[in-house]
Structure 1
């Protein structure tokens, strides 16, 4: 009985330490995305996806909400836009790696790049194509969103 309690305490400490490290990484990436000029890196999207690859669906959804809201705040978009997208993307990637794919760096890179590309395309479509009738909106996609 005593060995089981020691193991439980150790497991709880390791879980708390892991989540502490996750939160520190998320807030460091939030600080990096808020500092600088007009072009800001979206480091929170790959961070949320990499965390969700190793966790279950509920934790992936919570990570997506946190990273999405922080991305909305740092980029200055409508509050909840990136949160909804990242919840769907994190749960999708978590289910994909639990049921279909193996966890290796190539699969994580491919899934992350596809989701980041979808995010850029959706962002371009909803913010520039729908609300703008200018013919030069493709320059925004090629010069700002795509790199």
Structure 2
């Protein structure tokens, strides 16, 4: 690891700002795609929020998850804040799981996205259709909810590639500050 210079810290701030601007540009483009078209379209903001939460800190994951959830609520006409709470919780959980246990691999991302998308579709079905005991309510889950879930999981491939490209170009590399370098040297000398 190298020590950060003032120039590198300035470049790090610029790259971090550009990375978050690109993340939120992708979020708004996904929101625009979600608001156009027919009933059978993927909920693009779920895999995008999960992909963003994998490589970032817990606060950025929570804010991104809540923001994407609010946009889903607006797009789908749900109770304002319903999806925000769900997606913020799952983004925090995803961040912690990837930080502590899982490696940043596509298959891990796809499994978590599939589970989170299924839970979200199932909760929507339970709270917006089954609770009111509509006639033939099971057909809504099979014909609409599962189809939207499948489209969302398929769209996860593209969201992962887009976020991985942004991270490859703009993710900061590991560097030590001067204090960390001095403390590391002192610790190494004490061990000898």
Q: Classify the TM-score, shorter chain.
A: over 0.9
Runs of 4+ in 1 over 4 A off after TM superposition: none
Distance 2:38 2:58 in 1: 35
Alignment partner of 1:84 is 2:85: yes
Within 1, Cα distance between the matches of 2:39 and 2:107? 31
- Runs of 5+ in structure 2 lacking a partner? 148-192
- What does the per-residue CA deviation read over 1:79-112, in whole Å, with 9 as the maximum and x for residues that have no partner? 1010000011100110110111111000000011
Q: How far apart are residue 132 of structure 1 and its match?
A: 2.1
- SS of the aligned residue for 1:77 comes to coil
> What is the SS of the residue equivalent to 2:104?
coil
Cα distance, 1:41 vs structure 2? 2.2
CA-atom RMSD, angstroms? 1.1
* Alpha-carbon distance in 2 for matches of 1:84, 1:28: 22
- Structure 1 contact 34–40 (Cα < 8 Å) conserved: no
* Range 32-41 or range 105-114, more displaced: 32-41
Structure showing greater radius of gyration is 2
1:140 aligned to 2:140?
A: yes
Higher RCO (CA-CA < 8 Å; seq separation 6+): 2
Q: What TM-score do you get using the length of structure 1 for normalisation?
A: 0.94
Alignment of 1:52-67 (within 5 A): 52-67=53-68
Map Cα deviations across residues 24-55 of structure 1 (whole Å, 9 max, x no partner).
10000000000112334200000000000111
Match of 1:4 in 2: 5
2: CA distance, partners of 1:37 / 1:115:
23
Superposition pairs for residues 1-147 of structure 1, below 5 Å?
4-134=5-135, 136-147=136-147
Structure 1 stretches lacking a partner, 5+ long = none
Q: Give the 3-state SS of the residue equivalent to 2:91 in structure 1.
A: helix
